[in-house]
Amino acid sequence: MFTPLFFAGLVLLLVGIFGSRYLADRATKLLSPEEKLKLLDAFSRLRVFGALPLLLIFFSFFGIGYLQQNLMWPAYFAAWALVGVYFFVVHRLVFRRMSHLGINAAFQTAHRKALWLSYSGFSAFFIFNTLNPFLSK
């Protein structure tokens, strides 16, 4: 279950998440105090749901093993599809709301780069864990 590919994917996931947090924190220096307050107020509910992708991955990773053999791969891909849909919807909502609030373009660009680093970490984890069973046969 825990192979070198799993650990490599996990490391890339963590690098993506923490690197993204670092870049997003650095990007806040591009905001005026008024813009910071607008962002805090506008995205307070969204921050509550920020851990949903990690929880979904955690529970599906350990829960899929209890399913019947013929349901494991569909459940695995369905869980990752839900994570992808979550990222797509949140990404669209965040940048649409930032534009509506008049947040400066430099911050939006820096924040977009931070999010793409996070998405890359999740993608690497997905790819490494998907390839693992096929390469170990």
Question: Could you list the pLDDT tens digit for every one of the 137 residues in the chain?
Answer: 678 888 999 999 999 999 999 999 999 999 999 999 999 888 888 877 777 888 888 888 788 878 888 888 888 889 889 889 989 999 999 999 999 999 999 999 999 999 999 999 999 998 888 887 767 65
Q: Look up residue 17 and give its two tokens.
A: 């998440």
Q: Look up residue 81 and give its two tokens.
A: 């599809």
SS3 64: helix
Domain housing 53: 4-135
What angle do the packed helices 105-135 and 52-63 form, to 10 degrees?
10
The total number of structural domains that make up the chain: 1
Report, in this order, helix, strand and coil percent for the chain, each rounded to 5. 90, 0, 10
